[in-house]
Amino acid sequence: MTMEIFLSLLLVLGVIHLVQAQSQRGFISLDCGLPANEPSSYTEPNTGLEFTSDAGFIQSGEIGKSKTIPRIGYGYPLKPYTTLRFFPEGTRNCYNLPVDKGRKYLIKAWFRYGNYDGRDIKPRFDLYLGPNLWATVDMQDEDSTSEEILHVPTSDSLQICLVKNGTTTPFISSLELRPLGNNSSIAQDDSLKLIRRIYFTESENYIRYPDDAYDRLWSPLSSSSLTHISTTRDVSNSGSYNVPKAVRQNAARPTNASEPLTIEWTRESPNDQFYMYEHFAEIQDLQASEIREFVVSFNGISISDPVTPAKIEMTTLGSRIPVNFEGEICSLQLTRTRRSTLPPLLNAYEIYRVIQFMQPETDETDAVALKSIQDTYKLIRINWQGDPCVPQHLMWDGLNCSDPIISTSPRVTSLNLSSIGLTGTISAAIQNFTKLETLDLSNNNLTGGVPDFLGNMKSLLVINLSRNNLSGSIPRALQREGLKLLVEGNPRLCLSDSCKKLHKKKLIVLIVASVASAAIVIAVLILLSVLKKGKPAILRGLHLLPRTSTMNVTFAEKNSRRFTYSEVIKMTNNFQRVLGKGGFGMVYHGSVNGAEQVAVKVLSQSSTQGYKEFKAEVDLLLRVHHTNLVSLVGYCYEGDHLALIYEFLPNGDLKQHLSGKGGRSIINWSTRLQIALEAASGLEYLHIGCTPPMVHRDVKTANILLDANFKAKLADFGLSRSFQGGGESQDTAVAGTIGYLDPEYNHSGRLGEKSDVYSFGIVLLEMITNQPVINQTSGYPHITQWVGFELNRGDIVEIMDPNLHKDYDFNSAWRALELAMVCANPSSSKRPTMSQVIHEIKECIVCAKSGMSKNQGLEPQEITSADTSMVPTAR
């Protein structure tokens, strides 16, 4: 990682805000294995913590007790770690804990083997938070250990699971959750595993609750290379981090005053990223001539300005973004400056490793529905613990789910509850599985009628209700084409309301379309035939004609291929592979005739705006064709099923390649310029090549897709609108994406091609800087403000994406940056046309290829677009 990256790591003093805890409110302290029939709670005398039995939070496991006694001085109290719960049955066993969604928690799991089973075989197993691996607990070389993490739950229930990864038996001694408050600024979006939390002292005392209001465990450390300092004075907290009193009153400095204070640790993986927090206070009385000043560096790179500890006042220095360096050994150093007469001083430090929890939990609606079914039928299945769908090798018995991908929650697509002794009626919770395709409730003892809601579940393709004790008539909604309904073996169930044919031993296995349905189909075909002959008066007279029929008339005149819904199901292999998700609906991978790869965008039935976007996109893409616009292969319009089938672009979107997310490569400078040129060409075609001319209205990096050769194609035309060539049109319904949205258009509602030019300017800035378009944590929340500030300082290196590693022609970079800022001018009259943009990008490419003036740059005053009047305000 380059020096520029670390100079841009703005370290903040006292930014960590943890609300003052006045009590144990919100604490969860579980003594695992404490029998529920004994006093199920107690106050631990050493800490005053209120521990309870874990029996109400888990449905499996057996109780054990350590055969050896833990030492209090080791850092934890005695009683909670003498009992334990172990799990000889099942692969995954999970605790379900109530939490506040979106709130940061400190979570601690304690493990003390104590030869509880008399076998003296220390186990090794995995620890999961929901569907994601938290840690591997390995007791091979120790009798006790713990794992601690800072984590923000994404739902109101937190699942902590112990998973077998071999032949040994998982166990747990204690599980503890501590809420840290909503205003915590410690890596707000990251889950952090504790590496160390150390305070310097000659004492052997560990510190936790009540001395630490959040029950953080501080481990003591002394060293012969350090001189320890202490005071009895009251050292105040300035940054509301709430460091315990004993930590504030103790510190250390290097015994050799010329040496730095060094902290080292070994990384587990080359990709490890860390957050580091240093706590210090001047607790010595200094003479007037004495100065204590030092800088903080990581692996030899300075990451702070010179620091002078405040007198009798605790200050916290913390990294705002995670840091990462090459090398196995990590080294954090405090080094005195030249003007300092005293060595550096440190009271305490914390080191956390970022854990990338990439796998989202099962869709919350589906998970709640499964829990309701579990409660309704009193299902106790050892496998039904933890997240239902993920990880895939631990998926619940009887389920199939959509393939899990990053940022998209898996959905339940198949539910098989056959032959498990279900009694009562069919659970109403089943209707909440909106992506369910197969439902099997056969070979049970279900009674009552077949509920109407099953007929409203449009995704269902197969329903098996065979061999139950259902009665009454089958709802007409289930007697539809495309649905396979199996009901044999229910002697009191009949097809019609009269139920006169109860003597039949078996009912029809496959229900086909009714005569009424066929009549409707014939009527629609006749209507389409009439409309094809050009008789709009008929259409004007049908005031009650549904919107879908009107839409069907439009599509009937299109030449592009129309697919049936069954063909869509086949081409996507029952929607197996998800490519992404948008406001319109889900996008799936598919293939036509087993050869041509396609992307299938399926309209969500809950989307209202999606219908309009669907029609707009089809109307546009069926009449315009350009090498830099995504091609429409076809569409599906069948009842409530709407889908768009595009060419498949295997390299995803531009945004992924700027961030490197999803395993995407980081593209170089020349490729970025070529992508910008091709995206601009697509926009130019919309603006001047179409009749009437079109404006895209949602130009952003996520809507620029890349084919196998990184050729750029604009996508997502659902918001596109026509405008009068050379002018503007009034569009009262302003649409677009915050940050990319033209501020003039947003204010006036007047839509024109220059609105796309503004959005393209923001895209170009994003390609140049790899900075977020909106960053509320910065003093310059919009990317144009941040770039404008940096431009006034005249150093392009601070602006350019550090992932480029200065591998670009500086002259080319300056020209591209100037172009981007001109495009993003708040005044549309001062923006260029897309044709002018294309000409300028071509000049940038020529500069980049020639390599002339490489690394020389231009004088800052020549960049007229850095004028602060051009920087829009945050929206």
Binding-site annotation, residues: 601
Q: Which run of H or of E encompasses 609? A: helix 609-621
Phi, psi of 729 (to 5 degrees): -130, 150
Cα dist from 250 to 239, 276, 314, 367, 454, whole Å: 18, 19, 11, 49, 67
Q: Which run of H or of E encompasses 424? A: strand 423-424
What one-character-per-residue DSSP string does 726-752 give?
A: TS-EE-SS--S-TTTS-HHHHHH-EE-
Closest C-alpha to 100, from 175, 150, 155, 18: 155
Closest C-alpha to 441, from 361, 365, 376: 376
Cα dist from 851 to 2, 344, 430, 809, 859, whole Å: 22, 46, 64, 6, 18
Phi, psi of 160 (to 5 degrees): -115, 120
Closest C-alpha to 158, from 92, 102, 97: 97
The answer to whether 467 touches 442, Cβ cutoff 8 Å, is yes
User: Which SS3 state, helix, strand or coil, does residue 687 take?
Assistant: helix
Distance CA 691, CA 689 (A): 7
Which ranges constitute the DSSP H helices of 196-288? 245-248
The answer to whether 642 touches 636, Cβ cutoff 8 Å, is yes
Q: Specify binding-site residues for ATP.
A: 601
Helices 753-769 & 783-793 angle (0-180, nearest 10): 60
- Tally Cβ neighbours within 10 Å of residue 546: 9
Could you list the beta-strand ranges (E) of 8-156.
12-13, 28-31, 41-43, 50-53, 62-65, 83-86, 92-98, 105-112, 124-129, 132-138, 144-151
Q: Which run of H or of E encompasses 251? A: strand 250-254
Distance CA 32, CA 51 (A): 10
Distance CA 604, CA 583 (A): 8
Cα dist from 29 to 78, 175, 184, whole Å: 14, 6, 21
Amino acid identity, residue 454? L
**Cβ-count burial 842-869 (b if 16+ within 10 Å, e if not):** eebbebbeeeeeeeebbeeeebebbeee
Q: Which of 698, 716, 742, 809 is catalytic?
A: 698
User: Which SS3 state, helix, strand or coil, does residue 145 take?
Assistant: strand
Distance CA 457, CA 608 (A): 18
* 244 preceded by a cis bond (ω within 30 of 0): no
- Tally Cβ neighbours within 10 Å of residue 108: 21
To which residue do tokens 């309009």 refer? 612
**Cβ-count burial 816-828 (b if 16+ within 10 Å, e if not):** bbbbbbbbbbbeb
Closest C-alpha to 817, from 673, 675, 691, 614: 673
DSSP 685: I
The answer to whether 160 touches 175, Cβ cutoff 8 Å, is yes
Phi, psi of 756 (to 5 degrees): -65, -35
The answer to whether 635 touches 643, Cβ cutoff 8 Å, is yes
Q: Is 698 a catalytic residue?
A: yes
Strand-pairing partners, residue 164, are 125
CA angle (111, 112, 117) in 5-degree steps? 115
Closest C-alpha to 60, from 162, 147, 158: 162
- Which residues carry out catalysis? 698
